[in-house]
Amino acid sequence: MTNSKPHLYTALSPALLHLYDVNNAIVVIIDVLRATSTIATALYNGAKCVIPVDSVAKCIELGRQIDGITAGERDGMIAEGLQHGNSPFEYPREFIGGKTLVLTTTNGTKLLHMALDRGAGQIITGSFPNLSAICDYLVAQNQPVVLGCAAWKDKVNIEDLLFAGAVINRIRDNFHINCDSSQIAETLYMDARNDLYSFMKEKNASHYHRLMNYGLEKDIRYCLTPDAANVLPFYENGKLIVL
Amino acid sequence: MTNSKPHLYTALSPALLHLYDVNNAIVVIIDVLRATSTIATALYNGAKCVIPVDSVAKCIELGRQIDGITAGERDGMIAEGLQHGNSPFEYPREFIGGKTLVLTTTNGTKLLHMALDRGAGQIITGSFPNLSAICDYLVAQNQPVVLGCAAWKDKVNIEDLLFAGAVINRIRDNFHINCDSSQIAETLYMDARNDLYSFMKEKNASHYHRLMNYGLEKDIRYCLTPDAANVLPFYENGKLIVL
């Protein structure tokens, strides 16, 4: 019986994605602080779609062409030439409803395009705000899964691993998991789950530290809140839409 | 004060080593099951030196040239043309004392040569059997450290991470650690430390599974035993010698 279940793997960094076969798999792009949390939030709040692009220049150009909202940060500040930042709080329903968000991020967008280039079967984006939507979808699809952590400039980070662990913890009975990275992720999550924020603080997570220095405690807390924006962002024809 | 301490980083896979500056650092090569455990054991038992090579052909050639003991496995069996395998139990004092061991392994040797090519300041090899020797040396040297996990064909594994975590747990007060991978390693170790073997079993670690299938429970248990062969293997002129 066990072997008839689809496989689930976790890639801890974009630099490890090539080790996993994504061809017939659903790849979950995980960039908890803050890209995929913001994507879920914008879509939950009625954005028509989110278009992830990998440079500020492309963001500006595309935003002009389609009359979209341009957004993205570099080093914690809104990038020059763009209108908005990476915070989920910038995208309430009254602002983003019915609009297209053109978002440039570094780690998450890079991983998404890598998965695309490698022929991923499907691409969806995951974060704590849409944890249940991700889990429900993966269980229902019954296909191989690769949980892809966006990391930070290829360096493994705690928060993306925690999210991978949360997913694994919920859906492990439906998958065949022969993957140490997945076991590590779930173990970390089990340690942290009673208070994810305190865990990040206690472990002095590098991204916790970085965002706190920008005064973004509120963002961190939100990005660690399960099901605050419970939609399923699905990548299709260059856009993330709600499935 | 904190910033005057040297940095410590953990590279979870050879595919992530390039993210860390090894130039002025001591790189600890970690291949718990079983290369670095066997290296420590052979040296502890009086081997003159251990020469790590990356192919069976080189192992045979060098073994003949210097009249060394050739050793290495592929897929759990002694590789064709070699005399011995990867088990630490093959190298008791009465056999290996005074001799040179030419050892071919895949993951550990690959990582060692990568560290060398990248200009590592010093290279030493670590495993539970020589845990204290590693920790004492790192503290005494007071230089930057990169803990390099050999992993399995670049896939992160549990046992190398556990060893990194054990080192970090012992020496963290002497280093500046701003590295999520190190925090993850230590967290995992803290969960596992009361019974490393049971942890590996419970988490269905891929390497645990692989070696158990070869009937090597005894090897696994030994390779998880702290200070069973407490020497410091130091890489110099192509050889690992006891410092």
Domain ranges of chain A: 2-242
User: Model-level pTM?
Assistant: 0.96
Gap between the Cα atoms of B188 and A231, Å rounded: 32
The answer to whether residues B29 and B164 touch, using CB atoms and an 8 Å cutoff, is no
pLDDT 10s digits, B76-103: 789 999 999 999 999 999 999 999 999 9
User: Cβ atoms within 10 A of the Cβ of A209, count?
Assistant: 12
Alpha carbon A51 to chain centroid, angstroms: 14
Task: Please tell me whether residue B119 adopts helix, strand or coil conformation.
Answer: coil
pLDDT 10s digits, B195-231: 999 999 999 899 898 888 888 999 999 999 999 999 9
Q: ipTM above 0.90?
A: yes
Nearest to B19 among A155, A205, A209 (CB): A155
- Architecture of domain A2-242 in this structure: Alpha-Beta Complex (3.90)
Q: Counting one residue from A and one from B, how many pairs have CB atoms under 8 Å apart?
A: 83
Q: Quick one: B2-234 is in which CATH superfamily?
A: ComB-like (3.90.1560.10)
- What is the distance in angstroms between the Cα of B13 and the nearest Cα belonging to chain A? 9
Q: Which portions of chain B are predicted below pLDDT 50?
A: 1-2
pLDDT given at position B76: 74
Q: From first to last of the 243 residues of chain A, give the pLDDT tens digit.
A: 445 899 999 999 999 999 999 999 999 999 999 999 999 999 999 999 999 998 999 999 999 999 999 999 887 789 999 999 999 999 999 999 999 999 998 899 999 999 999 999 999 999 999 999 999 999 999 999 999 999 999 999 999 999 999 999 999 999 999 999 999 999 999 999 999 999 999 998 998 988 888 889 999 999 999 999 999 999 999 999 998
For residue B203, the chain A residues in CB contact (below 8 A) are 180, 183, 187
The answer to whether residues B240 and B52 touch, using CB atoms and an 8 Å cutoff, is yes
* Whole-number Cα distances in Å, B46 to A201, B28, B52: 47, 21, 17
The answer to whether residues B225 and B201 touch, using CB atoms and an 8 Å cutoff, is no
- Which residues touch B44 (CB under 8 Å, ≥6 apart)? B129, B130, B229, B230, B231
Compare all CA atoms of chain A with the CA of B20 and give the residue at the minimum distance. Answer: A155
Nearest to B161 among A15, A154, A184 (CB): A184
Amino acid occupying residue A36? T
- What is the distance in angstroms between the Cα of A32 and the nearest Cα belonging to chain B? 14
Residue with tokens 């090597």: B216
Strand partners, A7: A176
pLDDT given at position A75: 76
Cis check for the bond before A34: say yes or no (omega within 30 of 0): yes
For residue A204, the chain B residues in CB contact (below 8 A) are 177-178, 183
Nearest to B16 among A13, A157, A180 (CB): A13
Residues of A with CB under 8 A from a CB of B: 12-13, 15-16, 19, 152-158, 161, 177-181, 183-184, 187-188, 191, 203-207, 209
- Which residues touch A190 (CB under 8 Å, ≥6 apart)? A165, A169
